[in-house]
Amino acid sequence: MIRKIFVLSCFGCTSMFFVSFQEKPKFSLKESIERGKDIYIANCLTCHLDQGEGIEDVYPPLAKSDYLMADKKRSVQQVLYGVNGEMKVKGKTYNAEMSAFDLSDQQTSDVLNYIRNSFDNKGSAVTPEEVKGLRKK
């Protein structure tokens, strides 16, 4: 009887050990974009509007944005840390401030994937691991 309990206990410990080392679920761009829409609505919509068109002469457009799509790393850092100063978007100069957002790596990835794959943009995925790597230590 004691031997059976010991064997079952060992089996349970071994099972828990293997479960803890299972692979994380694979990254899904489609799911990230879906989550990112809600984050966009909550954080970006006020300035960049529902179609990403921005507010002329005040907030730059995200739709068909050459500036946004030119540098993925810069986009991540601007969401994490904000931005101020001049930027040229679609041939027009903007000089407004965007504050930093208090988002997790996953949320930052999701909102950028939504923006980079909406509004007539088509961009490569931003993963939470990339965001984590770009955070200031």
> Taking the model in full, what pTM does it have?
0.82
Structure tokens at 106: 């996953």
Dihedral (Cα; 26, 31, 124, 44), 10-degree rounding: -140
For 115-131, what is each residue's pLDDT tens digit? Answer: 999 999 999 999 999 99
CATH number for 24-134 (one of 1.10.760.10, 1.10.3190.10, 3.40.50.2300, 3.30.379.10): it is 1.10.760.10
For 55-79, what is each residue's pLDDT tens digit? Answer: 999 999 999 999 999 999 999 999 9
For 13-35, what is each residue's pLDDT tens digit? Answer: 545 555 455 677 799 999 999 99
Residue ranges of domains in the chain: 24-134
On whether the CB atoms of residues 72 and 124 are closer than 8 A, the answer is yes
